[in-house]
Structure 1
Amino acid sequence: MSHIKTRKYAPRVPMLATATLAAGFSPLGALAAEVDSASASASATAMGDATELDKVEVRGSWFAPSSQKFTATLLDTPKSVSVVGEQTIQEIGATTLVDALRMVPGITFGAGEGGNSTGDRPFLRGFDGQSNMFVDGLRDVGSQTREVFALEQLEVVKGPSSAYGGRDSGGGSINLVSKTPKLKDETRISMGVGTDSYARGTVDANHVLGDGIAARVNLLKHDSDIAGRDEVNNSRWGIAPSIAFGLNGPLQLIASHYHLETDDLPDAGGFPYADPVAKTTTGRPLVPDRNNFYGLVDRDFQRTRADISTLDASYDLGGHKLRNVARLGNTSNDYLWTQPDDSKNNPNLYGTLWRRTNSRAIDTKTFADQLSLTGAFQTGALRHSYSAGVEYSEEKSSKGSYVLGGGGTNNPLTGNQACATTGAATGYNCTDFANPNPHDPWAATHPVTRSDKALDIEQTTVTKSVYAFDTIELSERWLLNLGLRWDDFDTEQVTPVAGAAPTVIGNADTFLNYQAGVVFKPTANGSVYLSWGTSSTPPGMDSGEGNDAISAANAELEPQQTRNLELGTKWDLLAGRMNLTAAIFHTEMDNARVTIDNGTTRNAGRKVIEGVELGINGQLTRNWNVSAGYTYMQSELKDNGYVCSISSRTGCPAPGVWVVSPNNGNEFPNTPKHAATVWSTYRFPFGLVVGGGASYVDRQYGDAANSKWIPAYTRWDAMASYAVQDNISVQLNVQNLTDRVYFTKAYSSHYATIAPGRSATLSLNVAF
């Protein structure tokens, strides 16, 4: 029998089968599992799953990604890919995307400010991935805080991945896989309460309507405060209905809609960087009391909305599959929140803090269509597993802000941001650093209005793409994986000017990217691979939402190009119950956008990151499950261009004062050298499951100068569940078990975001 088990449609590990595994994910590769009928039945009983699971049997199958662009099982895919399953999300008590990804080493999260919208902003291998988010394989460009109530799994592709998804920042991408109907009547209800006013309810109901026809609906209501933080709270609700036809035949059609609304008092600010000894605004965040909230209850808000409609049609041609996915998306993100200021060094000089505001009112509308053909064929002695397709997308964003009346947020006593005093005389724009009052009556004298929509900045991006992937079985032991993608990218930004012609800038370019890898299989259950991949980052790829926004300085530049070389190995052990993964990588962006010696922006910089990733995941015994991962990343700004020798926020004030960047040789921001996670559970024969885990993240710098940072930390979590009967279970989760004070996000200049304190939740889960 051939060692190679390449399949375009790799067998998916059933969602419930992952209940026997501790976390259901591998930080570096994807899950492999062998579940016999006895252990599957025990898992179903312990977690309140249906007893139909007794018939499930999975033989050494890697947890399959949903994307049809993967033309081999993950065991034989020459790429670092992580899959986080639904069972994992439930076990660790995750409710948001950030929660679900916190135990995947190599991913950190950045903070928002004026140029970066407040929302999900993951960093993958040191590169900002805010614009590299996908839902069911189609790019999701609107900034938002994403939920998990309607997700089947999360998929993380690490390293440059433009061959898979088009424009890319260089670090990888994250794909959210939605729940869809299945041919099985099943309803799951979860109701949870906890500390800090936590209350959450979800419903996942699937019903067979007829021959090959099924409908599914997911519902959510969530309200909570934030542990260890004064005043802050979250409130959201969502609904995700879907209906499928032809699930038992060659022609299938799935129609779905996703709706989520949030209404929060946001806590994006945290604490400013300040060195109380040197009296500077550098160093680590200064925290007089972790509970301090420097915002204003009567002013701050964040409201988001997401509406995403998808039509997925496919036809099985017998060995080949034709599929078309079309989507309409409409998202909005409106907020006004308080950023703790450090620009005037108020905490050190006066023991005060300036309440700076950041605001955004952005609407994003998208249309995307992907037509693909997948399957397998043979040419002589060579077997091919292929995927080819075309894509079209159109994104339109409209960006405004909120206008603050009554003198704005400057201190009227000084006319600027210096805060020698606090209180009403400062318009409540200055507050006590040690004892802020979030109930100051700021709004009474400072009306807030939406900016004139006629002056909103409009950006339209159109992308046309063609791609092809092929996994070729060269022999019993050798595989060749090839991928190629061509993109035609065109973006235009229009900035209205009152009483004058609008300012129009744009960028249009084409770029070709590829993924190539060779896989050697010493045995059927192992692989060793060497791969090479690229990515392109054009100006304006983020629709004006982040670091890659288009501007007059970069509009005419070519895309930044990133390359990655990776050597790795993946192994199925213990009859498929345990997976081991290891990889070393070298990623290089050699034409990064930087300022050159005449003050203009050019593709002249160079950034390099290299590292090691290790992972172990699966069952040490039938009842003991372990998942652990480690990432080492050594990053360096090889050439960061030139900087003005005289500090100025508006540019260099005089010619001839550009000097070589003193940041050359520094580490990337938001890139810890070391990160590690572990999660383990043990299942007792009487229905009790106990588990716990830890995550360690090394120091992260907030800025390229490496002068501002958040310290290293270790966080511990614990859980326990008990099966009251076959279809009813209770689950207790304790997050941040030791109540550790640590920071999760480091902004480049002003502040860092503090993590929640210890919290506990108790959930009742019912399946029928």
Structure 2
Amino acid sequence: MSHIKSRKHAVAGAVPPLTAAATLVALALPAIAQQAPSLPPVQVRDAAAADFKADVSANPKFTAPLVDTPQTITVIRKEVLQQQGAVSLGEALRNTPGITFTMGENGNTQSGDSITMRGFDTQGSIYIDGVRDLGAITRDTFNLEQVEVVKGASGADVGRAAASGYINLVSKVPQADDFFAGSASFGSADRHRLTADLNRKLSLGSGTSAVRLNLMEQNGGVPGRDWVKNKSFGIAPSIALGLGTPTRIYLSHLYTKQNNRPDGGVPTVGLPGYYYSITPSGNAANRDLQARQSFAGLTAAAPDSSNFYGSIQDFDKIEANMFTARVEHDIAPGTTLRNTFRYGKTEQFRMVTSVIGPTFTTPGNPFTYTVARNRSDGQNRASDGGQGRVQTNEILTNQTNVSTEFMTGAFKHNLNAGLELIREKQDKRHLMFATGGTGANNATVPAASLYNPDPFFLLQNYAPQENGSYDKGETTTIGLYAFDTLKISEAFQLTGGLRADRYRTRFSNLRMPVGAAGTTAATPLTTARAKDSDTLFSWKLGAVYKPAPNGSVYLSYSASQRPPGGDAFTLSTSNTSGDNPIFNPQKSRNIELGTKWDFMDSRLALTGAIFDTVNRNENVTDSVTGVSEQIGKRRVRGLELGVVGQITPAWQVTAGYAYLDAKILRGTTGSASATTDGPLQWTPKNAFTAWTSYRLPMGLTIGGGARYQDGVTRSSAANPATANGIYSSQDYWVVDAMIGYEINRNVSLQFNAYNLFDKKYIERFNNGGSRYQPGVPRSYMLTANVKF
């Protein structure tokens, strides 16, 4: 039994707007079709001339240009994504080093954007236009202007957040212009993708209004993976009123729908570092067989990485709606008041089959080798086993902030201050009759052949439905913040921020009974309730020295807090869980020393920084005494370098390198799996990424890129005990290439080749080391682009 040392308080008991979309199309299409001679000439937008480099963040909380902002910030613009053919957030994040992706614990399979950045889980620190975006969804890029990756403790910006920083997705908005851009892509694994971006200036309000409609449809498989598929649709209508006037109104809606067949992974048997052993037991004959089976496991060949071990009936259905209204008013020159309202809802219904451990039944006969499949935990009236999910996430928020410039004596201020009201809810329902197996609770799913799995295996009594069990969580937050850049002289300035969040989290769950009353298999109905409330203070301060107008040298310090329940609203009543509200928030701080320079008339930016991030108040349970204390501490020290922009008007580049020295400073002790002085799981020591393109005469553009990443470990144990599976992945290089041809000013073709040298590597693997998802092999995509 575990005991607790703590002085904190105790535990207490859509439908898409098709009508709106049709209205926008009706507004826009007749205007495109008109050929009256009185119309102004068509304006052609030259995407090839656009720069990879951003000078400022889209977030008004950053009160200085990026070159003068004392923090590592990577801005990935849509022009980079278009050249690379990057269609998901995961693909976009390949342009910044130090990010990895995870797969889940043991037999459970995560879905959506499961991101680790600089050694910390960042899945709950993803934002759209500065508003937190939760839900297990794979985010698409079709409605994005750019992706901003902010690194280091950033609680002053966004409130509760990962110690590593956060990711902000910046949406497209209507422009005071007329244009149309569309694309049709076809590629390996029978993939196709269609997009359209239509912007039309309206005559309302003396031509100060505009509408914009972004559309996306895609369908197809995943290169190198049998039977896995991704199918999605998205529509994003928006309208802007008062463009170019002191008062501007933006109304938008984002609707996405996905119907995928998810990937439960491939067994890690036969991969470098794979280990397998059975503890001998029984009589001499059994021990001899077990020894031969252990040897068979160690020497078995790796199965084909394209094998699909799931069921053809696996599915992952997601529907998401997000409504946003933003009003901006220029009170006076240099002073703007903004108010943003948003309601978002994401619904997911999923069932996935994953693989667990192998069995080498007859050593020396590969036809008898099997691997167990997991769809539930055998008590699917009580829980979903991690493979089935019926989950709804909702957010309702209102942000009001003011940006202003003013003088106090000889000092100039750029100030942004505001109030944020947030209500976030998560409702997770549980399933029965979802396993499709046999035996008790229909839980026994037939094992798969290791080398020839059958995705058409029979599902018994398969009728997924809710069983009454649930997990519900709700967090309400009131946040006050202020940011200021104080210009002391042309050479010196200070940048600071402060945020206070008053939050309240409530959590409840219910588990339906399992088994007949009075039997050993009986599990009674159980309920749990917990709540937590507190005030979090986060802040940052940076000193900037400008030896020249185009450069800066800075030193910054930032501090954040993450309360129990974190980002998923799941409070715990476990005596050892950090999500138990008896414990205090985790606290992180980041110290960063860096420099930023703009060259070539500010067309090219070079950045470099060394940093030291520490997260403390982590829970540690002593393996001998069973006492849980908040004494855990981990640290990530490192270096990050970056370059982005134009070397010449025809030659563009974006590249980054990160060195991460990550370790557990204080963790568990007194056991074989002690973590003190161990590495941080999922954290590469070295990571590099680069993409460059060159525009040649005759309408040709060539481009290419490379990515390198060191291997990562699945455990933070200092001296990990030998266990079945793999302990770490291998390092890898991947090279991509692109060639484009502009047929005329309206039509162009683009051909992308991915993983040119067909490198086999692990994209992600699970905490148990038993299964992985392979990186995409050599594959291709041909895209036709149209613009008017």
TM-score category (smaller protein): 0.7 to 0.9
Q: Is contact 1:183–1:208 with CA below 8 Å preserved after alignment?
A: yes
Query: How large is the Cα RMSD of the aligned pairs?
Result: 2.8
| Alignment match of 1:257 (pick from 227, 242, 253) | 253
Alpha-carbon separation, structure 1, partners of 2:362 and 2:562: 39
| Alignment match of 1:307 (pick from 305, 315, 321) | 321
Q: Is contact 1:624–1:683 with CA below 8 Å preserved after alignment?
A: yes
Q: Is contact 1:582–1:612 with CA below 8 Å preserved after alignment?
A: yes
1:455 positional shift: 2.4
Residue 481, structure 1, aligned to residue 495, structure 2: yes
2:219 equivalent in structure 1: 223
Q: Mapping of 1:431-470 within 5 angstroms? A: 431-440=448-457, 442-443=458-459, 445-452=460-467, 454-470=468-484
Residue 672, structure 1, aligned to residue 701, structure 2: no
Map Cα deviations across residues 688-746 of structure 1 (whole Å, 9 max, x no partner): 00111110010011222366111111111111111100121111111122222111113
Q: Which amino acid aligns with 2:688?
A: A
Q: Is contact 2:45–2:179 with CA below 8 Å preserved after alignment?
A: no
TM-score (norm 1): 0.85
Stretches of structure 2 lacking an aligned partner (at least 5 in a row): 1-41, 279-293, 376-386, 514-524, 721-725
1:126 equivalent in structure 2: 119
Q: Which amino acid aligns with 1:63?
A: D
1:571 equivalent in structure 2: 597
Q: Which amino acid aligns with 1:727?
A: N
1:278 positional shift: 5.0
Alpha-carbon separation, structure 2, partners of 1:549 and 1:195: 45
Alpha-carbon separation, structure 1, partners of 2:298 and 2:497: 44
1:271 positional shift: 2.8
Alpha-carbon separation, structure 1, partners of 2:265 and 2:708: 23
Residue 732, structure 1, aligned to residue 761, structure 2: no
2:532 equivalent in structure 1: 507
Alpha-carbon separation, structure 1, partners of 2:307 and 2:604: 45
Q: Which amino acid aligns with 2:686?
A: H
Alpha-carbon separation, structure 2, partners of 1:348 and 1:550: 45
Moved more, 183-192 or 599-608: 599-608
Alpha-carbon separation, structure 2, partners of 1:515 and 1:175: 19
Map Cα deviations across residues 343-369 of structure 1 (whole Å, 9 max, x no partner): 878899962100112121101111011
| Alignment match of 1:558 (pick from 562, 572, 584) | 584
Local SS of the residue matching 1:296: coil
| Alignment match of 1:353 (pick from 371, 396, 401) | 371
Local SS of the residue matching 1:255: strand
Local SS of the residue matching 1:230: strand
Q: Which amino acid aligns with 1:590?
A: R
Alpha-carbon separation, structure 2, partners of 1:541 and 1:284: 43
2:761 equivalent in structure 1: 742
**Cα distance change, pair 598–285 in 1 and its aligned pair in 2 (3 A):** farther
Alpha-carbon separation, structure 2, partners of 1:354 and 1:714: 32
Q: Is contact 1:346–1:354 with CA below 8 Å preserved after alignment?
A: no
Local SS of the residue matching 2:96: coil
Aligned residue pair count: 686
1:629 equivalent in structure 2: 656
Q: Is contact 1:572–1:579 with CA below 8 Å preserved after alignment?
A: yes
Residue 686, structure 1, aligned to residue 698, structure 2: yes
1:428 positional shift: 5.3
2:781 equivalent in structure 1: 761
Map Cα deviations across residues 393-439 of structure 1 (whole Å, 9 max, x no partner): 11111102332468747799xx99xxxxxxxxxx6520111111112
**Cα distance change, pair 148–348 in 1 and its aligned pair in 2 (3 A):** farther
2:81 equivalent in structure 1: 89
| Alignment match of 1:269 (pick from 240, 243, 265) | 265
TM-score (norm 2): 0.82
Moved more, 496-505 or 305-314: 496-505
| Alignment match of 1:198 (pick from 191, 209, 227) | 191
1:3 equivalent in structure 2: none
Q: Is contact 1:471–1:482 with CA below 8 Å preserved after alignment?
A: yes
2:152 equivalent in structure 1: 159
Q: Is contact 2:398–2:421 with CA below 8 Å preserved after alignment?
A: yes
Stretches of structure 1 lacking an aligned partner (at least 5 in a row): 1-48, 417-426, 643-657
Residue 380, structure 1, aligned to residue 417, structure 2: no
Alpha-carbon separation, structure 2, partners of 1:89 and 1:145: 16
Alpha-carbon separation, structure 2, partners of 1:660 and 1:353: 28
2:311 equivalent in structure 1: 296
Question: What percent of counterpart residues are identical?
Answer: 35
Q: Is contact 2:358–2:369 with CA below 8 Å preserved after alignment?
A: no
1:25 equivalent in structure 2: none
**Cα distance change, pair 557–360 in 1 and its aligned pair in 2 (3 A):** same
Q: Which amino acid aligns with 1:186?
A: F
1:287 positional shift: 3.4
Local SS of the residue matching 1:164: helix
Residue 248, structure 1, aligned to residue 244, structure 2: yes
1:138 equivalent in structure 2: 131
Alpha-carbon separation, structure 2, partners of 1:55 and 1:429: 54
Local SS of the residue matching 1:235: strand
1:534 equivalent in structure 2: 559
1:723 equivalent in structure 2: 742
Q: Is contact 1:271–1:752 with CA below 8 Å preserved after alignment?
A: yes
Q: Is contact 1:604–1:641 with CA below 8 Å preserved after alignment?
A: no
Alpha-carbon separation, structure 2, partners of 1:203 and 1:593: 49
Map Cα deviations across residues 104-133 of structure 1 (whole Å, 9 max, x no partner): 101111123577741101111111001001
